[in-house]
Chains A and B, each alone.
Chain A
Amino acid sequence: MRIRMTAPLRERFVNIATYIVVLVGVIPVLLPLFWLISSSLKTKDTVFLAPPQWLPSVMEYHATSDFGVVDLIVDDTFAYATGTLWRVHVPLATGNYVHTTLDVPSDVLLPANTQDTDAFRLPLPSWQTTADVIRTGLSHNNSTATVAFVSDMVMPHDVICGKSVLNPQWNNYIKAFQEEPFHLYLINTLFVTCAGMLGNIISCSLVGYAFARLRFRGKNILFLLLLSTMMLPAQVSMIPTFVMYVKIGWLDSFKPLLAPTMLAQSAFFVFLFRQFFMTIPADLEDAARIDGCTPLRIYWDIILPLATPVVIVVAVFSFMTAWNDFFGPLLYLNSDEKQTLALALNNFKTAFGYRDPQLLMAASTIMIIPAVVIFFCAQKVFIRGVVITGVEK
């Protein structure tokens, strides 16, 4: 009796606890993606800033002192990949201005002491203004900054308040395309993806159809062979296949990437089609066969239209495989103009990863977006696919 009374309450408690855990757990899942997008909108010098910045923003500093206004303007045209060059513009009481640049690399922002992790000290070896600054301290939190100048010209401890201003750099996306012809790589990727999708749908469904519906000798053994290829690590046949493609002059072309799809080498897709075709009642074809239709005709007119759900699964999975594929292009594509997005991104990282991190982030975001969109549109398909691979295999 007691159990029944408390059970709903207890259920509720557990549900709330579950919610909390699941919500907390989802943060680390989404945070990196958020950071990716946020970084893709940052200026070059704020990407590598320590401590890292949440939002694509710049600090704007304004302060008044007895001697006038001190503006610290973050100038990204002079900033170096991982450092920050501050241009300091100090109007003096006499009406003159002092301009100077100040190299404040992010890696010298060291915690001043362990008790106060928000305080950072900037050792500045080369502060060359008429106001000879002996020591500059910047205490930093998310929204305000205080710069204390100690000098004989500017009064000690002039307080400069800074404000973090949201400043997304949308043109990073345009710049990324200007820096590297990603649009060409996008065409390459789309071509490989679409051709692979087409190849997979047609060849795998034909083979699946034959295995499901037609009787021929050796069928079972061949089907067993097909299933066993699923278990074989790809590395084992990688070398001879690579050599073969090199020898027939297919290196640096899309053919090695497309051949396996045209030749129904994905055992998983064939298996999916075969399982589905097994469930279609035989009467449908029998009628057509009596009318003298060839199996090809039956396949195209009757069987394939029925297979819509499997075609969707295969289309989505083969899109994702081709879109995400890195190893294939790495192995077979060499030329600049033949790169796929995955390969181009990796090359961009190697060459400009430190120089233009924000552009690399923008390019990565571009590559991730189609995958995310397709995933959200077809999440049921994904889940079904994963379950089939996972459980039936």
Chain B
Amino acid sequence: MIQATPIEESAIEFSGYANANGSVGVRTHLLILNLTGLTEMAARRASAVLPGSVLVSFPYGMGMVGDDLAASVRLLSGLARHPNAGAIVLVSADRTRLDQISAALADDGRPNQAFCLDAVGHDALALSHRIASAGARLMRVASASRRKPFASGSLCLGVECGLSDPTSGIAANRLIGAVTDRVLAAGGTVILGETLEWLGVEDELTVRAMKPEVAKAIKEAVTRREALALDNGVDLTGINPNRRNIEEGLSTIEEKASGAIAKSGTAPIEGVLAHGEAPSGPGLWLMDQPSYSPESLTGFAAAGAQLALFSTGSGNSYTSALMPTIKITANSETAQSLGTQIDFDCSALMSGADLNTAAAELMEHISSVASGMLTFGEILGEGAEVFSRFGEAL
């Protein structure tokens, strides 16, 4: 049994999996990673006969170029190496792509197998059979891994918000920020993304940059994202904040952003990552990426985050397939009405409850989930991964 952690002590323990590649997992999934749209249904059939397997499917093909291609390969390679996979099956209609992503697993050490459609004479049903047959064996091996204790410094968290309302910025995101500070103090890693939600608060972020280049990268990321809206004649009001955010009381992107960055706590910022790029060391990292939660979470997963902390105001059912996603709300009505969605109710903060006490409780909850306690998203099978595209294909 994990003891309640005194507020002063940042290092909670959890029981995780020591992967052969040196990473620490909080789950030991069989990951079926499909690399081409053509083979998606074959991979999906195989996944359906292997309950508990996690299917992550890339729905596009081979015509990508430039930054779009680089981002796709980065995302797929990162997901293939995800710490919560105990074994990995790669599936592809294209041998070049299969070889490219297999390379990411060359020195990995975890059981893995790669399947190409041409090896079964382009028979998709035969491909499903091969994947399911190999997957069954790999899943059995993965499930034999035993958990062992780790300190919270072994955690990499992605911090996210979705369908925010004013309680998110005032309470839930501040609580996530307090937990971020604790995990970082223990030597862990935290990633904050959703670049659009740095608009209007970039000065709050740049003053925390470790180096001038980092401050410059933050500014450039914000300018690029703002130019994307301007160049396309987009009025952010109604998009971010969206209609639901506005109904709940958020008026402008600046207001939403000031609440969103509270998730990052107070630590210095190590650097700005590309979408899906793994941090080069522990600490607090920003990820320059789209602000839509499904895309954003997949960026964190590809970067190697084992868990996501996800605050919501009105409720948001989406979770990552690979990272257990802890749903947190400070809206008492949402906590009551969404009893099988909200994992952690911190609405007492809105009526003056102590932030440090709540942070210690959330740390303990994180420890439980990292040690195997299921999130509602896992229980209900809400998880998915979504791939961003950054340009036209050939």
A and B: interacting chains: no
